[in-house]
Structure 1
Amino acid sequence: MEWLKANNELIPLSWFEQMRSNTPVSFNEEYNNWDAFRYEDIKAMFTNHEVFSSQLNDTVREPIDASILFLDPPKHRQLRMLVSRAFTPQVIEALGPKITAISHELCDQIEQRGSMDVVHDFASPLPMIVIAEMLGIPAADRLQFREWSIALVGNDYEAFVACQQEMSEYFTAIANDRRTAPQQDLISSLVHTHVDGEQLTDLEIIGFCVLLLVAGNETTTNLISSSMLCFDSERDARDQLMADPTLFPQAIEEVLRYCSPVQVTSRKVKQATELRGHSLLPGQQINIWIGSANHDPDVFESPNTFNIHRSPNPHLAFGHGIHFCLGAQLARLEARIALRILFERFPNFRRDQRMTLERADSTMIFGLKSLPFFIA
């Protein structure tokens, strides 16, 4: 990947390799937390919620703390059952025509301009429109959604807190409206659904909407833009996809591995445990470097080579175990449809290499601030 060789800070593969080899489990004294880098360890931590808890805070500080992302069983199971009804395979596949129509509308606008910033003109608005329509959010509020989404994954903690306060007020008003005047949207479903005789609380509804905004928007945005970046750089892969679009699903899996949209997540140690000779104590946090795990040579042959034919490809881009991403099927569907349409509409696309690639201001997420392309 020429773009990665030119700027290894975009995805720090050399640092991942160094840490996996020398200190696969390391302690940061300043923050009293740990970092884990090897695939085997990270996959095990995803499944061992008795020792490695997703509930990072003892009390709910922000709405997202009440989402399934930060809950352990049994509450996690109950809440996931409630919200998973909106993400059944049948529901997701039924979105295909809508995703196709939105993709073509965005391409029409790009065609009129004569150029494309993949991030701003396509990869960002597509999932935003899909999620907004699923939730029942007015089109006029989509730009505000994008600002909230960026703040939720960014490194500015004050913006992170402020946007959740704003979102709490926003979604509370909508939830209250849907209780008295339900519509055919996800928020109406959330406020009226029952499992084991229980409904979601207001905080849980808000938390899920916040989570959906991040998981449903940022992941897909960065998957699509990273795909275009990789396919532009790897001409053989691009030519094969042009000749045989049935290769897109497995090519997308390789993008998920190579440019994992979520680079790092965290767990809190619940019980004293040993990991590679280190003693981890209750209350300590451990950062799980998914981006490193997905380049571990113990699991992936030639891990730093982009190979759309890689099989098997057991990447951890969507997590593993009970916290496997609820929206994974939607992200894959959006990427598959969107990329095929981009290839069909703009077969001569190429990146404007005069523009320097800059990573978005987020440690957790890998994404680009901008990705200009020529389309003819």
Structure 2
Amino acid sequence: MTLTKKAPTLADLLDWLERQRSRGQVVYDEKQRCWHVLGHSEAAAVLSDPGAFSSDLQELMPQQEDFALFQRGNFVRMDPPRHRKLRGLVSQAFTPRVVAGLEPRIAQVTNELLDGAAGQTRVELIDKLAYPLPVIVIAELLGIPASDRPVFHRWAETFFNRQNIDPDQSLLAAGKEAMENAAPTVREMNAYLLEHIRNRRGNLADDLTSKLILAEVDGERLADEEIIGFLGLLLLAGHITTTATLGNSVLCFEENPGAAAEVRKDPGLLPDAIEEVLRFRTPFPRLARVATRDTRIGEVDLPAGAVVMPWIAAANRDERVFTEPNRFDIHRPRNPQLAFGHGIHFCIGAPLARLEARIALGIMFQRYADISVALDEPVEEANPWLMVNVNRLPLDLRPSR
């Protein structure tokens, strides 16, 4: 397997995290001007206390009109009580019953996408399956044309695939630069979604966009501009985690053929295997919070106003919680991985992402007697400082007879 040379790599990031951990589970970074939270219990404590650690980072960043519009409905960056009210509007779209009801459609789309590659022994996984599958599913939930997925892909690349991350740069400077670079994309996305919302308002249907148009918060309907943030968040976050998890799963199975053989023999192991993939190659390696008051995490006192970075990738390799954390083990008796977050901001789409990964991988194991990463083409991995995922993953496939 040949990896395209990119810096930094996941191994580089993990080495850097362990060097930070050698100083403690909560450490201050003079260069980045933030507190790195590396331990599992410490990260969970930060994420479970929105009163002490705010998700609203707007005061740290320069105000930008396009981002301000998007943030109006972005409940990921809200604190209670507003967060609870707005998140409740979309929770109905991700109830266990609704998600379970999507299983036949997910299987149908998976088979249709793989049928499109029938007869091919070399397939690029991301383009053929890992990206289009979750985009089609989430777009249908939102009532947005899935045929526009090349546009959505370009948006996601802007937000999750930048390559100019400098670990020694202050977070405020990096954030300002990121906002400037992403502003044109945010402007395009806002305009696209606003047009969709206005069109749907005059032609309501059985989709989440229509439900948001009709919903009330504190006796008031949402403005079209508020719905933009909802849809943008769900459209991007609603597919990128599944895309990453599918690619990361194939890489983990490639590196651990014994685990792949076990799962192929017993598909009932797939859910636990996916949880281990999420722990071992955590899609979103870090989150960000701001301390609202002087507080204590572990053995460290943090001042009010401190920028706090819970590193999920480090928490998921905390040896105090995970035996042999650097070993891929689908039989872990306990796997409290934090890949989907913790507390009130736990990923609302986690059940859907898990279901999509389980169905897609299960169908792949049924259809192909052998799945291996191509040796003569590069695997393109994203910058792990932003996201641990694969942009290009060529596979050699041998169909089952």
Paired position in structure 2 for 1:65: 71
Do structure 1's residue 284 and structure 2's residue 290 form an aligned pair? no
Counterpart CA distance in 1 for 2:377 and 2:2 is 14
Counterpart CA distance in 2 for 1:305 and 1:327 is 27
Counterpart CA distance in 1 for 2:130 and 2:92 is 26
Do structure 1's residue 56 and structure 2's residue 57 form an aligned pair? yes
Moved more, 150-159 or 348-357: 150-159
Report deviation, 1:164: 1.4
Counterpart CA distance in 1 for 2:99 and 2:211 is 15
Look up the equivalent residue of 1:65 and give its one-letter code: Q
Do structure 1's residue 210 and structure 2's residue 232 form an aligned pair? yes
Report deviation, 1:95: 0.9
Moved more, 292-301 or 83-92: 83-92
Paired position in structure 2 for 1:10: 10
Do structure 1's residue 293 and structure 2's residue 293 form an aligned pair? no
Report deviation, 1:255: 0.5
8 Å CA contact 2:38–2:312 kept in 1: the answer is yes
- RMSD between aligned residues: 2.3
Do structure 1's residue 274 and structure 2's residue 296 form an aligned pair? yes
**TM-score normalized by the length of structure 1:** 0.93
Counterpart CA distance in 1 for 2:183 and 2:208 is 24
| Secondary structure at the counterpart of residue 50 of structure 2 | coil
Moved more, 352-361 or 93-102: 352-361
Query: What are the ranges of 5 or more consecutive residues in structure 1 without an aligned counterpart?
Result: none
Do structure 1's residue 141 and structure 2's residue 117 form an aligned pair? no
8 Å CA contact 2:283–2:389 kept in 1: the answer is yes
Do structure 1's residue 229 and structure 2's residue 251 form an aligned pair? yes
Report deviation, 1:345: 1.1
Look up the equivalent residue of 1:28 and give its one-letter code: D
Paired position in structure 2 for 1:106: 113
Paired position in structure 2 for 1:333: 355
Which whole-Å deviations, capped at 9, do the CAs of 1:52-84 have from their partners, x for residues lacking one?
A: 100111387414433111001000000011111
Paired position in structure 1 for 2:25: 24
Percent sequence identity is: 40
Do structure 1's residue 349 and structure 2's residue 376 form an aligned pair? no
Structure 1 residue ranges (4+ consecutive) displaced by more than 6 angstroms after TM superposition: none
Look up the equivalent residue of 1:338 and give its one-letter code: A
Paired position in structure 1 for 2:161: 154
Select the residue among 84, 97, 101 that pairs with 2:104: 97
Do structure 1's residue 127 and structure 2's residue 134 form an aligned pair? yes
Moved more, 284-293 or 347-356: 347-356
Counterpart CA distance in 2 for 1:145 and 1:165 is 13
Counterpart CA distance in 2 for 1:357 and 1:113 is 19
Moved more, 325-334 or 203-212: 203-212
Paired position in structure 2 for 1:37: 38
Look up the equivalent residue of 2:196 and give its one-letter code: I
Paired position in structure 2 for 1:316: 338
Moved more, 9-18 or 299-308: 9-18
Aligned residues: 374
Do structure 1's residue 77 and structure 2's residue 84 form an aligned pair? yes
Select the residue among 361, 364, 380 that pairs with 1:358: 380
Select the residue among 260, 282, 295 that pairs with 1:260: 282
Which whole-Å deviations, capped at 9, do the CAs of 1:224-266 have from their partners, x for residues lacking one?
A: 1101111122111111111111111111111111111111110
| Secondary structure at the counterpart of residue 392 of structure 2 | coil
Paired position in structure 1 for 2:125: 118
Task: Note closer, same or farther for the CA distance 1:19–1:158 as it changes in structure 2 (3 Å cut).
Answer: same
Report deviation, 1:158: 3.7
Look up the equivalent residue of 2:385 and give its one-letter code: T
Which whole-Å deviations, capped at 9, do the CAs of 1:27-67 have from their partners, x for residues lacking one?
A: 23344322111111100000111111001113874144331
8 Å CA contact 2:55–2:76 kept in 1: the answer is yes
8 Å CA contact 2:45–2:297 kept in 1: the answer is no
8 Å CA contact 2:8–2:384 kept in 1: the answer is no
Query: What are the ranges of 5 or more consecutive residues in structure 2 without an aligned counterpart?
Result: 163-177
8 Å CA contact 1:107–1:345 kept in 2: the answer is no
Do structure 1's residue 240 and structure 2's residue 289 form an aligned pair? no
Counterpart CA distance in 1 for 2:96 and 2:299 is 43
Paired position in structure 2 for 1:164: 186
Report deviation, 1:278: 4.5
8 Å CA contact 2:123–2:395 kept in 1: the answer is yes
8 Å CA contact 1:33–1:284 kept in 2: the answer is yes
